[in-house]
Chains A and B, each alone.
Chain A
Amino acid sequence: RKEVEQDPGPFNVPEGATVAFNCTYSNSASQSFFWYRQDCRKEPKLLMSVYSSGNEDGRFTAQLNRASQYISLLIRDSKLSDSATYLCVVGGGYQKVTFGTGTKLQVIP
């Protein structure tokens, strides 16, 4: 089993739609969780950290489910500018920081 798994997509959604991505991780000792965004041919950049209590930043909501070992990202009211690849990142403890392979989102006009 991969350390961090994501559905590669692509997710093609119309503008204004709500879309959700999940990411599962294998190491129950993981302590730090993040979502990064990567635009085509660019470097990854932090979108948001994921806290145990869940957190929201504008149209974006991230949640952590330790029991089932997954994190989620919800994007409401999708914009064309949200089109990108979203990378799930897990780390902490003695673990190296591991990136998922990413979920590609394409928002369609």
Chain B
Amino acid sequence: DAGVIQSPRHEVTEMGQEVTLRCKPISGHNSLFWYRQTMMRGLELLIYFNNNVPIDDSGMPEDRFSAKMPNASFSTLKIQPSEPRDSAVYFCASSFWALAGRHNYYIGELFFGEGSRLTVL
């Protein structure tokens, strides 16, 4: 079975350019997460979707970052304009969450893609 698929695996771009990262979650999963990892800050949750709807985007650094999930099988994370401090590995992960009562969720295992390593010069 295919896991979470991310593209591109590596991207080197110049400051000011637009960057688009793509993610295809595992079929049947209803939650999708975008994380950013750096040595200094570890894994940071940027945004997550449940049933294609953004639930929490409080981790998105600023307006330069945007994420969309037009359907259950595709999501994008866009940075415009990019800056050198955006250099990091960006992970997409998918999971199955089930509502287990009011405000309570059963959280399944998060499956991560191999990541997109972004370098902004």
Contacts and interface: CB of A to CB of B under 8 A. Distances in A.
B104 interface: yes
Interface stretch (A20-28, A43-51, A65-73): A43-51
A44 B112 contact: yes
A92 B42 contact: no
A94 B103 contact: yes
How many A residues touch the partner, as a band?
20 to 34
B42 A101 contact: yes
A91 B33 CA distance: 13
B112 A43 contact: yes
Most chain A CB inside 10 Å of its own CB: which residue of B42, B55, B106:
B42
A97 B112 contact: no
B105 A96 contact: no
Contacts of A32: 105-107
A93 B104 contact: yes
Interface in A57-109: 87, 89, 91-94, 96-102
Interface of A: 31-32, 34, 36, 42-46, 49, 87, 89, 91-94, 96-102
Given A93-B105, A96-B55, A97-B33, 17 more contacts: A31-B104, A31-B105, A32-B106, A34-B109, A43-B113, A43-B114, A46-B109, A87-B43, A92-B107, A96-B59, A97-B45, A97-B95, A97-B107, A98-B45, A99-B43, A100-B42, A101-B43
